[in-house]
Structure 1
Amino acid sequence: MARYQVYSPNPVWFDLAGVANTPNGKIQFYLIGTTDPKDTYNAFSGGSVNANPVPMDSSGRLNVPVWLDGDYSVVVYDEDDVVIDTFDLRSPTDNAAVVPVPGDDEYLGGDGTDFIPKTYRGMPDPTGLVGYVPVSDGETYVMTPLPEAPEAPTVPLENTSGHVKIGTVMIQWGTDTVPAAASAKTANKAVTFSEAFSATPYIVLPVNSSAGGSAPSGAIPTLAYTSLSTTGCTITANIPDDDSNSNWKLGNTTPFSYVAIGPCVAP
């Protein structure tokens, strides 16, 4: 607790009526709220302990500086031991906040009421740690090496005329023609793949490659595949119209292109 000075020797103490000084009086200092004497000092650093009571000189002044440490009850007497005044003195630092000193790697924080030293959670020193990154372990940061990237898998490729193999998937393509059927609206064409798939293909996409229609009326047939197997399929051309007139028959051939996608043995 810091010491504080209440009285220097200069002020003059007056008598009970407050009209004359109090020569040769004295001031008694007690532990606050008691009649137990409490020491005062003649210097901020402590110095010497004053007499208790502290005497006044003939002019009514204290004959030494008075430095206090803590809280006091005070009684002022004249030279005939008549009480002139009583009062309490409280340390001006009693209610001051106590500020703790932060330790190594700490800073001064608070919880809204008190000052609290807190641990500084800075980044660890990266010196010499090339390729490392800070990672939390749940309490602090730890420098951790970056994981090595796995080797990219090698995908076998085969690209030839009419098909391409990407690992275990093959894409085939080709062209063919559905023959004319002058008396019918539907005609078929069997397609044989240039290389067999290892299992039934996923899909075959036939596309009509004729700019004109396959019927005298100019109608363009729809195309679909059936009888799909590992080695081929059947492409069917059909004019979806219920008119029986010959103008709506497949009087012309229907050229088409196709793409087939399915599994294969990796090259």
Structure 2
Amino acid sequence: MSYRYYDPAPVNFTLLGIEPAAGGSLAFFEIGVTTPKNTWSDPGLTILNTNPVQLDSSGRANTNIWLQGSYSVRLLDSSGAVIWTRDVNDGVAAGLVIPTPLPSGQFLSNDGSVLQWSSVLQPPDPTGSDGYYLTASGSSYVLTAPPVIPTPNYSFGDNFTKVGTNLDQWGTQTMPASNSQSASMSFNFPVAYATVPVIQVLIQKPGSIVTEGFTGIIKATPSTTGATVEWNTGIDDTRTGLRLVSPFEFSWRAVGKVAS
């Protein structure tokens, strides 16, 4: 960083301070030693001044003086004798040195005590990646598509529940009156199965079904498309009071596999 040497046109006086150092000069050195150090006439530090810088008859420098870093400055009279020596710097704290050269793709950081260059971890260009999110790849960042959440594969209704390929169906049917001690009927499932399901049937009518006070027994034989349900009194008796003279209702439930 460059900085100007005092005001643009200071008057430099002789040691007694009673008259300008006419025809004198300003010599610039590395601080504390006699090694000459460059100054410039522009803040961009592209145009070198002579060293020493000549002073005119009013004790003013004949050019702008821009510095970089720290200097020991000597004011000389017209014969080259030293009037005074001063140390100047840019005001930056001692020891704060920016490492050079300036590397591409890095930024200036520190480890708590020493300045150092660190890699720039810059996210990739998001153009064309709407909806993507930023993730770490171990050494940098990448744009990652969000995971595809599968559509829930289930459905349900008043008489079924389906999860994946498992279908649970239920309903009621009516066993017709047969006027005998046994009866049977068949019905179709609302949705057919891929394999023969497990079925359960249950008589809905409480108490007895026939006048002699028997409920009887009921069984079902399923297929992939429906079931055949059979009922009988379960006893060996031919009395007319054991005949099924009125229909009764039963419930059924089937669980099995269906096509996906």
Structure-1-length-normalised TM-score: 0.50
Is the 1:7–1:67 Cα contact (8 Å) retained in structure 2? no
Does residue 173 of the first structure (1) align with residue 176 of the second (2)? no
Q: 1:193: which partner in 2?
A: 217
User: Deviation string for 1:200-240 (max 9, x for gaps)?
Assistant: xxxxxxxxxxxxxxxxxxxxxxxxxxxxxxx99x9xxxxxx
Counterpart of 1:143 in structure 2 is 145
Aligned pairs for 1:43-82 (under 5 A) are 43-82=42-81
Counting only pairs closer than 5 Å after superposition, residues 217-256 of structure 1 correspond to structure 2 as none
Deviation at 1:36, TM superposition (A): 0.4
Q: CA deviation at 1:39?
A: 1.4
2:170–2:253 Cα contact (<8 Å) kept: no
Distance 1:155 1:28 in 2: 99
Correspondence for 2:184: none
Report the secondary structure of 2:200's partner residue.
strand
Q: Which amino acid aligns with 1:174?
A: Q
RMSD over aligned Cα, in angstroms?
5.2
Q: Quote the offset at 1:46 in angstroms.
A: 3.9
Aligned partner of 1:228 in structure 2 is: none
Q: CA deviation at 1:13?
A: 0.8
| Cα distance in 1, alignment partners of residues 51 and 19 from structure 2 | 24
**Structure-1 separation of matches of 2:143 and 2:120:** 20
1:20 & 1:47 partners in 2: Cα distance? 34
Bigger Rg, which one:
1
Which whole-Å CA distance do the structure 1 matches of 2:33 and 2:19 have between them?
Answer: 30
* Residue of structure 1 equivalent to 2:174: 161
Instruction: Find the aligned partners of 1:148 and 1:121 in 2 and give their Cα distance.
Output: 28
| % identity of equivalent residues | 21
> Matched residue of 2:203: which SS?
strand
Q: Secondary structure at the match of 2:204?
A: strand
Alpha-carbon distance in structure 2 between the residues aligned to 1:136 and 1:65? 52
**Residue deviations 1:71-94, cap 9 Å, x none?**
211111223444332222223578
Post-superposition Cα deviations, 1:87-120, rounded to whole Å, max 9, x if no partner, equal: 222235786989x8996xx9x9989989974422
Query: What stretches of structure 1 of length at least 5 have no aligned partner?
Result: 128-132, 179-188, 199-230, 235-256
CA distance in 2 between counterparts of 1:101 and 1:36 reads 30
What is the distance in 1 between the residues matched to 2:214 and 2:77? Answer: 136
Deviation at 1:23, TM superposition (A): 1.3
Number of aligned residue pairs: 195
Shift of residue 121, structure 1, vs aligned partner: 5.9
Q: Distance in 2 between matches of 1:68 and 1:153?
A: 83
Q: Post-superposition shift, 1:9?
A: 6.3
| Cα distance change, pair 171–135 in 1 and its aligned pair in 2 (3 A) | farther
- Separation in structure 1 between the aligned mates of residue 256 and residue 50 of structure 2, nearest angstrom: 111
Deviation sequence 1:178-219 (CA, Å, 0-9, x none): 7xxxxxxxxxx7643322589xxxxxxxxxxxxxxxxxxxxx
Residues 69/58 of structure 1: CA separation in 2 closer, same or farther (3 Å cut): same
Distance in 1, Cα, partners of 2:250 & 2:91? 95
Q: Is residue 30 of structure 1 aligned with residue 29 of structure 2?
A: yes
**Aligned-partner Cα distance in 2 for 1:193–1:112:** 87
Query: Matches of residues 206-225 of structure 1 in structure 2 within 5 Å?
Result: none
Counterpart amino acid of residue 76 in structure 2: Y
- What runs of 5+ residues in structure 2 fail to find an aligned partner? 155-163, 176-186, 191-196, 223-230, 235-247
3-state SS of 1:155 partner: strand
